[in-house]
Amino acid sequence: MEYVRTPLNRRKSPFIGILNSPNRRANLLLYRDDYSFILMNRYPYNAGHLLVLPVREVTDFDELTEMERQVLFSSVLRAQRILKQAMQPEGFNIGFNVGAAAGAGIASHLHAHVVPRWNGDTNFMPVIGETKVLPQALETLYDQLLPFAEAEK
């Protein structure tokens, strides 16, 4: 709640701390290479919602080197493959919110959202109750996804 209550312009990226932590499971870190990493979104839109980030903290694509851009987009595809194998979704939402005005909750660290989707997976809860009901605990889903992430290395 401390992070959520902090004004947007004073929030620091939690992602660097995740990279420096030895506890991958506690941080829901599924994959890392020299230029990018994949982790589960702690506040998901849908079960299986992954984030794909460059290792280097940047705010926009033009700050990335060519190699960083290539590896980042390869990791977006890797995240999609992990979800396809582990969860068999019927579709995906994949995108970037660049800047706070575009909806980036953590605008200081560019990241992609890879969200698996199924026909009929939305209901009245997000609209009426302003909450999302997830069918599985994050740690349980992490354990389900991890073997597929490790096979991608």
**pLDDT of 25 above 70:** yes
* Active site annotation includes 111: yes
Q: List the CATH number of the domain containing 136.
A: 3.30.428.10
pLDDT(27) > 90: yes
- Tell me the pLDDT tens digit for each residue of 56-83: 999 999 999 999 999 999 999 999 999 9
> Beta strand pairing status for 36-40 and 112-117?
unpaired
40: helix, strand or coil: strand
* CB-based contact 93:117 (threshold 8 Å): yes
Report the number of distinct structural domains present in the chain.
Answer: 1
Residue 29 and residue 39 in contact, taking contact as beta carbons nearer than 8 Å: yes
Q: What is the pLDDT of residue 127?
A: 45
pLDDT value at position 121? Answer: 78
Range list of H helices, 49-98: 66-87
Instruction: Identify the residue whose tokens are 């980042």.
Output: 72
- Threshold 0.75, pTM exceeds: yes
Reported in sequence order, the residue ranges of 11-119 that DSSP labels E, i.e. its strands, are 29-32, 36-40, 50-54, 91-96, 112-117
What would the pLDDT profile of 123-132 be if each residue is shown by its tens digit?
544 544 455 5
What are the residues facing 92 on neighbouring strands?
116
Domain that holds residue 117: 2-151
Alpha-helix residue ranges (DSSP H) falling in the chain: 2-5, 15-20, 66-87, 138-151
**How many angstroms from the chain centroid is the CA of residue 32?**
13
Mean pLDDT of the chain: 86
- Active-site hit among 49, 109, 111, 113: 111
Contacts (Cβ under 8 Å, ≥6 apart) of 144: 86, 87, 136
What pLDDT, in 10s, does the model give residues 95-123?
999 988 888 888 889 999 999 998 877 65
